[in-house]
Structure 1
Amino acid sequence: MSEQDKNNIEKVGEGQVEDTKKHEDEYEKICFVCRRPETATGKMIDLPNGISICSDCMQKSFDAMMNGQVDYSQLMNMNIPGVQIFNMADMEQHVPKKQKIKKKKEGEEKKPLIDIQNIPAPHKIKGKLDEYVVGQEYAKKAVSVAVYNHYKRVATDTMDEIEIEKSNMLMIGPTGCGKTYLVKTLARLLDVPLAITDATSLTEAGYIGDDIESVVSKLLAAAGNDVEKAEQGIIFIDEIDKIAKKKNTNQRDVSGESVQQGMLKLLEGSDVEVPVGANSKNAMVPLTTVNTKNILFICGGAFPDLDKIIKERLTKQSSIGFGAELKDRYNKDQTILEKVTTEDLRNFGMIPEFLGRLPVVFTLRGLSEEMMVKILTEPKNAILKQYQKLLALDEVKLAFDEGALFAIAKKAVEKDTGARALRAIIEEFMLDIMFEIPKDDNIGQVTITKEYIEGTGGPLIMLRGQEVPRLTGADLP
């Protein structure tokens, strides 16, 4: 081999080493013991086999060895039958030494996900929501304004000394009225990371269940472990009414008032240490710090029996005299939840400090038959459009007559589970049709009739180029 070839090989090898070092420098070191990154612990101590330990853990290790009774220097050389002493070289193969979170460059400023010039105005946000969400005009308007103000706040965070407070939201509405769907649609339109979590599983730290910080770890996972992206995302906490203060109980309220207390700093803005790629902290999971200052929190709940608290407040005047409120005046009021006040929510069991950090409070109405019919047909991804697309793949046209739509809506209202009931009812009636259609290639159109929904007849089947008499319910298997 010539001298020139040797020099070329050496240069290639040096280039590969430099590329490897450059790639390694992009990621943080993490402590082999406590799993914290270098940004949280300070300068790491490098040990053989590529292991790094923070100064805190190193000091604790020295203290344990100096105060203990065991001679650790002799431990690794002991030969005890049936006992295998672990090898650090074997262990380090199973534990990652680098945390998959990129280092922040010195002097680098945070860039908002949404540029201030490109933030959609409230009427544009509401216009997009109108394409997917039926009704709930006030709720859509309130969400649009709150989100618009929030991302203006994020974009102008470092522009001047006037600090704009967070516009966290509290949504109140009966089950199935579209609370979760509204937030999902909003996050998709804004293209920001969204984490949806359930308050029912949250407990005070140290008890069985998810701790309060787990809601932030879900957002970090939704942002692909990108801390800066997660710090400008949205967290939706559903079933927030389940952490209300328990009344008349002598036991410790580990999933009620204590959870509300624990969430106060989270809602306001604080640095939270969360695990990367896991829901709970343990020795083998790396931790990183997420600041919740610019995270928008949206809480939602059905708040059962809140209407009774509102009625009691509205009718607490004396029932004697001409100016008195009638006891049954609000019994059939469909908009009773819209009269909610902070006092009513406190009586329900929410602590005032928690409510103070949710300044935007609005309600969603329960769904009527007319709204159910619109939900079936109007949104871009309406349930009926989904089934029509499924049958179109079999080259079959699916149609619903107006009577059938109102019959489905009536059954859904009776179930009292909101829009979720629509899917269950249609699945039930479409089962036989979806099973039978692929058997016959001659079928060109199926029309769902009111009689079929009510169980007194069958759907109208039309062959390609020819109409067949309407089937009765008995003709279907």
Structure 2
Amino acid sequence: MLKKFFGGNGEKKEEVKEIKSEEFLTPKEIVRELDKYIVGQHEAKKAVAIALRNRWRRQRLPEDMRDEVAPKNIIMIGPTGVGKTEIARRLAKLVRAPFIKVEATKFTEVGYVGRDVESIIRDLVEIAVTMVKEEKMEEVKERAKELAYDRLAEIMVPEPQTHPQSIQSLFDVFLSPSKSQTSEFEKEQSRLRDERNRIKKLLKEGKLDDEVVEIAVTVETPGVNVIGIGGDLSNIQDMLSSLLPKPKKLRKMKVKEALRYLTQEEAQKLIDMDEVIREAIHRVENQGIVFIDEIDKVAARSGGRGPDVSREGVQRDLLPIVEGCKVSTKYGLVRTDHILFIAAGAFHIAKPSDLLPELQGRFPIRVELKPLTKDDFVRILTEPKNALTKQYKALLETEGVEIEFTQDGIEEIARIAEEANSKAENIGARRLHTVLEKLLEDISFNAPDMKGQKVVIDREYVRRRLESIIEDEDLTKYIL
């Protein structure tokens, strides 16, 4: 599918290709991919997989119907640490979609000091521009590297210093250059070319990586802060910063670092920023995912009285963005009609029905995530691609220490994590981080002196290290 962009006079300016990452991912395949990183929560995975596939289906509809099909936004209900944020984050990574996670409590009603909700879309566009820019720079990387080698060779073999001449003699040379002067100049240029080619060859072989060179680098000017006016002023600050000239200064650095800097600089010159911005806006409008956490904290409690800047006002400001409107950003207007919004909250005190009825209607899909049990913890410690036990094992291997988690040891860690969650606040899978840190504290501390040793983490080892803490309820609350 192609998205057309038109100028003010109606003529076609450019076409941007739709990203087709989802094309090869059926809902079952999306769930399978999410299973590699997140344990359980099948209903939530199923809901986001359907939402993602519906985007692909929408792109295949006739144009008149395509604009009518709005995304079915999702509310995830569940305690902390059960995988709400991780599901949304992994989903965005899966399809290279612009993704932003925000907390509803950070925003205030328009007109009050603080960030207004439209800044969510502005930040999302910034993320998309950075993402597309990185992709485009990767495409021109080889060409940019070649140009960087040329520039570095020119810096290392500069043009010879010419002696000042009188204006008359310069005119004479220009008007009637002698054969000897021309020949001398050609010889000098040929010598320079040969020397630079030799240096370039050495640079490519990495033989000059540790040499020090002096190159001109751009100095980033500090941002301009506008004080005394409420609201979001990021656009004004960006505009004022862009008016200030960016000075350059000479800096000494190793050839390897200089090559990296010059490659980046050359890649920037090779990409078309107008095309980057167009594609970024197109991605945001058609593939953007906004994850709004702590949505329950801005729900008005039943029986509450009086206005609240960070509650009902924020909900009312969210309404037009979730429903679909045009938001002004420094890159142009962005339509939010087809951005997927995923809201999440624990809803311990407030209920989803405490949200404004209009906002409830904008989130038609509700998914309840289940609290994690001991069996879930066992799976979290072993099944995911980068499970915690694998991470700790790899970390300690860098010191030459081998640790092995036995099955009964993993089950004991899971039991203790579940018990700690029941005695103190239930923080879900995050409790495993706390338990493992305490469990491996001595090994991590003494690892440099334990090179070549192997430690087996079995049930006995886990009990010896953690049983006393679990038995004392006060210690459990403070330590685990």
* TM value normalised by structure 2: 0.59
Residue in 1 that maps onto 2:442: 432
How far off its partner does 1:456 sit? 5.9
How far off its partner does 1:240 sit? 0.8
Relative contact order higher in (CA < 8 Å, ≥ 6 apart): 2
Residue in 1 that maps onto 2:78: 173
Residue in 1 that maps onto 2:323: 268
Aligned residue among 398, 402, 408 for 1:403: 408
Residue in 2 that maps onto 1:49: none
How far off its partner does 1:119 sit? 4.6
Question: 2:386 aligned with 1:386, yes or no?
Answer: no
Say whether the 8 Å CA contact 2:77–2:344 is kept in structure 1.
yes
Aligned residue among 281, 284, 297 for 1:230: 284
Residue in 2 that maps onto 1:220: 125
Cα separation, 2, equivalents of 1:400 and 1:440:
18
Q: Whose helix proportion is higher, 1 or 2? A: 2
Letter in 1 for 2:347: F
Question: 2:286 aligned with 1:242, yes or no?
Answer: no
Question: 2:100 aligned with 1:195, yes or no?
Answer: yes
Q: Deviations over 1:130-174 (max 9, x none)?
A: 111111112111211121113322454726478222211111111
Residue in 2 that maps onto 1:254: 309
Cα distance change, pair 193–151 in 1 and its aligned pair in 2 (3 A): same
SS in 2 for 1:108: strand
SS in 1 for 2:97: coil
Question: 2:300 aligned with 1:300, yes or no?
Answer: no
Cα separation, 2, equivalents of 1:161 and 1:148:
14
SS in 2 for 1:455: helix
Letter in 2 for 1:356: G
Say whether the 8 Å CA contact 2:51–2:71 is kept in structure 1.
no
Say whether the 8 Å CA contact 1:246–1:253 is kept in structure 2.
no
Question: 2:23 aligned with 1:127, yes or no?
Answer: no
Cα separation, 2, equivalents of 1:115 and 1:185:
14
Say whether the 8 Å CA contact 2:406–2:457 is kept in structure 1.
yes
Residue in 2 that maps onto 1:462: none
* TM value normalised by structure 1: 0.59
How far off its partner does 1:351 sit? 1.3
Say whether the 8 Å CA contact 1:235–1:295 is kept in structure 2.
yes
Identical aligned residues as a percent: 38
Residue in 1 that maps onto 2:156: none
Q: Structure 2: which 5+ residue stretches go unaligned?
A: 1-6, 131-279, 468-480
Cα distance change, pair 233–157 in 1 and its aligned pair in 2 (3 A): farther
Q: 1:348-427, aligned counterparts within 5 Å? A: 349-413=354-418, 414-415=420-421, 416-427=426-437
Residue in 2 that maps onto 1:112: 18
Aligned residue among 156, 160, 163 for 2:68: 163
Cα separation, 1, equivalents of 2:434 and 2:308:
36
How far off its partner does 1:380 sit? 0.1
Aligned residue among 112, 134, 142 for 2:47: 142
- Structure 1 outlier segments of 4+, above 3 Å: 104-111, 154-157, 159-162, 246-251
Question: RMSD across aligned C-alpha pairs, in angstroms?
Answer: 2.6
Cα separation, 1, equivalents of 2:121 and 2:401:
46
Cα separation, 2, equivalents of 1:230 and 1:113:
12
Cα separation, 2, equivalents of 1:108 and 1:394:
54
Q: 1:24-173, aligned counterparts within 5 Å? A: 106-109=12-15, 111-114=17-20, 118-154=23-59, 156=61, 158=63, 160=65, 163-173=68-78
How far off its partner does 1:395 sit? 3.6
Q: Structure 1: which 5+ residue stretches go unaligned?
A: 1-38, 44-103, 275-285, 307-343, 459-477
Say whether the 8 Å CA contact 2:41–2:369 is kept in structure 1.
yes
Question: 2:352 aligned with 1:345, yes or no?
Answer: yes
Cα distance change, pair 436–234 in 1 and its aligned pair in 2 (3 A): same
Aligned pairs, how many?
306
Say whether the 8 Å CA contact 2:288–2:339 is kept in structure 1.
yes
Cα separation, 1, equivalents of 2:381 and 2:450:
27
Letter in 1 for 2:19: L
